[in-house]
Structure 1
Amino acid sequence: MKVVAFERQAQGTGASRRMRRAGKVPGIVYGGEQKAQMIELDHNALYHALKKEQFHSSILDLTVGEQQTRVLLKNYQVHPFKPLVLHVDFMRVAADRKITMKVPLHFVNAEESPAVKLEGGMISHVLSELEINCLPGDLPEFIEVDLSGMHKGHSLHANDLKLPGSVTVVTHGSENPVIATVLSQAAEESAEAAAEPAAEPAAKEAEKK
């Protein structure tokens, strides 16, 4: 994805407020051997880009003036209740240096699995994203998780995933985290039943009001 930004000269809280009133978002680009660079971006373009999944998990081509740099979105701040982006951080990437990123998991073929199709089970997604380490050129926008082989009583772990190129999973102490697991219909109904009594007092209280 391409991102267009402009070099920012003015700094400080007052300058940032004026920038936001003008429909701009202050930001910074850092990393590598170059100095950190202050930038500003069009608010509406950035706001809509942040709604796209790939903007958060892809290498971005950032253009500032005539200079183009490959970066990752590292952080951004939004207003607590207004649809406003307050600040954004990008990190430069080098082709020969590994990066660590969280990428989304896309689950497919659950309906085709024996667990769902034949055994009356339900597949629970334990994780929705996975932290990985890889070279920038191998960074996937998402990791596809094929559930077609799931059976009753079966769990899918990180080591079961087919990862491209130099991609490895960052586990943070858990050697082989569970990605998805099969629940029986009875277990699902039991969980729903356990939640109902807790909801009843609140509903009755609302009726009194």
Structure 2
Amino acid sequence: MKVIAFPRTLQGTGASRRLRIAGQTPGIVYGGTSAPVNIALDHNALYHALKKETFHSSILDLEIEGKVEQVLLRDFQVHAYKQLVLHVDFQRVDASQKLHTKVPLHFINAEISPAVKLSAGIISHVQSELDVSCLPKDLPEFVEVDLAKLEIGQSIHLADLKLPNGVNAVSQENLTIATASVPAGKVEAAGEAAAGETPEAK
């Protein structure tokens, strides 16, 4: 994914405000062996890019005055109530150095799992993203969580995930990723039915 940026020489609150009025968003590129560079980006292009999942979890090609370098989106600030991106941070990526970042989790096959198909259960996504460590070339856009065998009362944990080659989870804990349970209303209904049968049993 390619991002076009322009060098930004003027700094400060006033300069940033003028940039935003002109339809641009101030930002910065840092990391690696080069000095940090202040940049400006087209606001509308950036705003729409931020809506895409891959923009947050992929290596981006950032072009500044014809020179392209690989970066990761590290942070961005948005206005409290306006559809306005106030600032964006990118970190340079070194192809030979492992990076630490978050990737989204994609949950698949919920509809064919025993929990849903046989028990009309509800699957709760406990985690929506995963902290990983890997070389830039190995960074996945997402990690799949296969729910096909999940049954009521069971959970899927970090150890159950099949991570791509070269990708390691950062967490030392065996995190719970997803759980399957009976809907609350169904549990209550079952409890009431059992209570109603008690006198007859006696």
- What is the TM-score of this pair, normalised by structure 1? 0.86
State the Cα RMSD in Å.
Answer: 1.4
Q: Residue type of the partner of 1:95? A: A
Secondary structure at the residue paired with 1:32?
Answer: coil
Q: How many residues align?
A: 188
Q: Residue type of the partner of 2:179? A: T
Of the three residues 175, 178, 197, the one matched with 2:176 is 178
2:116 counterpart residue number? 116
1:1-209 correspondence runs (5 A): 1-171=1-171, 175-185=173-183, 187=184, 189=186
Cα drift, residue 153 of structure 1: 2.0
Q: Distance between the aligned counterparts of 1:39 and 1:120, measured in 2?
A: 52
Q: Distance between the aligned counterparts of 2:89 and 2:117, measured in 1?
A: 45
Q: Distance between the aligned counterparts of 1:144 and 1:158, measured in 2?
A: 12
Q: Structure 1 residues 82, 120: closer, same or farther in 2, change over 3 A?
A: closer
Q: Residue type of the partner of 2:112? A: E
Q: Distance between the aligned counterparts of 1:61 and 1:120, measured in 2?
A: 45
Q: Residue type of the partner of 1:28? A: I
Cα drift, residue 64 of structure 1: 0.2
Q: Residue type of the partner of 2:145? A: V
Q: Which runs of 5+ in 1 are unaligned?
A: 192-209
Secondary structure at the residue paired with 1:28?
Answer: strand
Cα drift, residue 139 of structure 1: 0.9
- What is the TM-score of this pair, normalised by structure 2? 0.89
Cα drift, residue 190 of structure 1: 5.5
Secondary structure at the residue paired with 1:46?
Answer: helix
Q: Deviations over 1:78-100 (max 9, x none)?
A: 11111111111000001111111
Secondary structure at the residue paired with 1:73?
Answer: strand
Cα drift, residue 188 of structure 1: 5.6
Cα drift, residue 129 of structure 1: 1.2
Q: Deviations over 1:109-166 (max 9, x none)?
A: 0111112112332211111111111111111111111100112221100111111122
Q: Distance between the aligned counterparts of 1:40 and 1:52, measured in 2?
A: 20
Question: Which structure has the larger Rg?
Answer: 2
Q: Structure 1 residues 118, 189: closer, same or farther in 2, change over 3 A?
A: closer
Q: Name segments (4+ residues, structure 1) moved above 6 Å.
A: none
Q: Residue type of the partner of 1:71? A: V
Q: Residue type of the partner of 1:165? A: N
% identity of equivalent residues: 61
Q: Which runs of 5+ in 2 are unaligned?
A: 189-202
